[in-house]
A and B are shown apart, each in its own frame.
Chain A
Amino acid sequence: MELSGITRTYDTGAVHVKALRGIDLTVEAGEFLAIMGPSGSGKSTLMNVLGCLDRPTSGRYLLDGIDVASLARSKLARVRNRTLGFVFQAFHLLPRTTARENVELPLLYREEELSWKEIHRRAARALDQVGLADRMDHTPNELSGGQKQRVAIARALVTEPRILLADEPTGNLDSRTSLEILALLQDLNEEGITILMVTHEPDVAAFTSRTVRLRDGLLRSDRRHDALAARTAISNWVDEDEDDAPHTDPTGPGPAAEAAGVDA
């Protein structure tokens, strides 16, 4: 992925909001990138452009050598379906629809049609990959937040994308569950999927291998670092859990915060 001079201006009647003012960024295959920055700095806007959900006002965006900034709407839909997978802060699962059917959704829009058998098989495999093989027939309101986000990740994975885009995937989750999701993302990254993740929490960014910071629509820093292993953090947490009175404060400051402290 190669972005050069990307800008995005929102026209809201009288005011023009310059959400991105010239982003240059190159992401190599296999990276796990965190996009950080304060609220309103343009993280989501950048993510939408990267995810081909939105077209930049100006600039060039090469995805696998193709300039996607100029593609037509329906071509962009193909790219989203084939190359990209999305995970949202708000999960965006279809209500009253089973986990399996939610995961199958992207497969229904594939260019080359699959048999129902194949669709079911792939959905089952994706759910197995995120550890929810036993929750296939549950609807979202029968699932916990973490499980919902796993279903959403399975939905993103089911098309076997090369790039996973996640906009604050842990924003609606407690620390323990966040860690589990991060561990899952790390596993996926190790299997070769490029991951771009928006977060405004430094302790979440710590689990990635590269962090870029946005402020007022411009990239301010770009730093590569060693990823903390979320697995280890979870096992530490479990140990502590056994030491302390169990389950007293699941949302309290967890090892993620401590881990970030170590990194800082």
Chain B
Amino acid sequence: MKLSAIPYSAIKALRRNTMRTLLTALGIIIGVGAVITMVGLGQGASAEVREQVNRLGQNVVLVFPGDRQLGGVSIGGGSANTLTVEDARAIRDEIPEVVASSPEVRSQRVLVYGNRNWATPVYGQSQDYLQIRDWPMESGRMFTEEEVAEAALVGVVGQTVVQELFEGADPIGETVRVRGLPIEIIGVLAPKGMSLMGSVQDDLMIIPYTTGFQRVSGRSHAMVINVQVFDEGSIPIAQEKIRDLLRERHRLAPYQDDDFTIQNQEEVAEVATETSRVMTWLLGSIAAISLFVGGIGIMNVMLVSVTERTREVGLRLAVGARAPDVLLQFLIEAVILCLLGGLGGILMGVVATELIASWAGWPALFSVEAMVLAVGVSAIVGIFFGFYPAWKASRLDPITALRRE
């Protein structure tokens, strides 16, 4: 038969019921739109994770207390009491590859300034912390080793604290109260943005760990030790040496497991990407389900269409159409319907991604592959769900079909 006549008559048939066509395509539009959005956001997120990991600092190794599994609990959430301030100091002093270390505690505390309050995470760190994180100051200065040694009541704050507690005014020289302790602000950190897990990194105060441990957090052990290694190539050796050193310091017998976990930037990144991968899979299956539901909608409408056009089919058969011709006609119609949905879905996906990205401050990446995939998938959905109705049409008997009212 004349193949070029098929798409023409298919489009004509679809245009005859514009509203129905649009509503049916909507199922596919939503499905494909969801796929595009998920992939766009997912890829944006992984790119962001990479970026953030790089911003984590230069050649950073993190030591967590307890036996953490890769892909397990959240970063910095160590709760076992196995890492001490002395461990941190020993790592710095006894391992040549290590240039700096900082034992960290974190606790959510209310800062009081005049009659204003602001609850923020307060970190206890060493003077080397900003160097490790590669985090510049905006104004003022970081506390010194001497101030750490004498447990001085000084601190540096992030941009959010400046905004919320000081309403944007210069806080340097001002004193805030934390758990009754007067802490003098001596520096303001440069803005840093969102963290790996989406929390605002600029909402914090950093004080010497000597003040932070007992007096502010009420803790005796580090929640994490931030370690900076001399260069990237030395990271594996440094990790090995840190492990040996800590096992020795913790007097672990050979049969005992480590009571700490060492992760480098790459491994931290993997944890984060793993999380976003799980998210992508989850959302991806939702997208797949909605495509499936959209496909059922296609099948439904095609069945209705075949029933409505029984006489047309009868006539086509009478004037010489063979079963495969009729099959192809309805199949192409379903595929065109799905492709329309696919194109609409790409459009919707791009718009939705942009909206979500700008609303959540998340970067979005569009890949041509995802779009090609979406169109391919919708064509397959069309063939899969259009086949049964088309087959049904092709099985019609010309006389019975012509007689049907």
Scan A107-144; emit 1 where CB is below 8 A from any B CB, else 0. Answer: 11110011010010000000000000000000000000
A-B contacts counted at CB < 8 A amount to 63
Number of interface residues of A (CB under 8 A): 29
Q: A147 CA to B375 CA in the complex, in Å? A: 45
Q: Are A107 and B315 in contact (CB-based, < 8 A)?
A: no
Q: Are A81 and B319 in contact (CB-based, < 8 A)?
A: yes
Task: Pick the residue among A51, A78, A82, A116 that contacts B4 (CB under 8 A).
Answer: A116
Q: A107 CA to B321 CA in the complex, in Å? A: 10
Flag whether A29 is at the interface (Cβ < 8 A): no
Q: A86 CA to B312 CA in the complex, in Å? A: 14
Task: Pick the residue among A54, A74, A96, A155 that contacts B319 (CB under 8 A).
Answer: A155
Which residues in B have their C-beta under 8 angstroms from that of A53? 318, 398-399
Q: Which residue of B lies closest to A155 (CB)?
A: B319
Q: A80 CA to B325 CA in the complex, in Å? A: 15
Scan B313-332; emit 1 where CB is below 8 A from any A CB, else 0. Answer: 01111111111110000000
Q: Which residue of A lies closest to B5 (CB)?
A: A108
Nearest-neighbour CB distance to chain A for B42, whole angstroms, equals 45
Looking at chain B's contact residues, the main secondary structure is helix
Q: Are A119 and B317 in contact (CB-based, < 8 A)?
A: no
Q: Are A105 and B319 in contact (CB-based, < 8 A)?
A: yes
Q: Are A105 and B311 in contact (CB-based, < 8 A)?
A: no
Q: Are B16 and A96 in contact (CB-based, < 8 A)?
A: yes
A73-B323 in contact given A88-B402, A107-B2 (Cβ < 8 Å): yes
In the complex, chain B residues 317-369 whose Cβ is within 8 Å of any chain A Cβ: 317-325
Q: A108 CA to B311 CA in the complex, in Å? A: 18
A109-B319 in contact given A48-B399, A54-B399 (Cβ < 8 Å): yes
A110-B320 in contact given A94-B312, A94-B315, A119-B2 (Cβ < 8 Å): yes
Query: Could you say which of B316, B318, B323 has the most chain A C-beta atoms within 10 Å of its C-beta?
Result: B318
Which residues of A pack against B, CB within 8 Å?
A: 48, 51, 53-54, 73-74, 77-78, 80-82, 86, 88, 92, 94, 96-97, 105-110, 113-114, 116, 119, 155, 159
Given A94-B315, A109-B1, A109-B320, 11 more A-B residue pairs with CB atoms under 8 Å apart are A53-B398, A54-B399, A77-B320, A88-B402, A105-B315, A108-B2, A108-B5, A110-B320, A113-B2, A116-B4, A159-B320
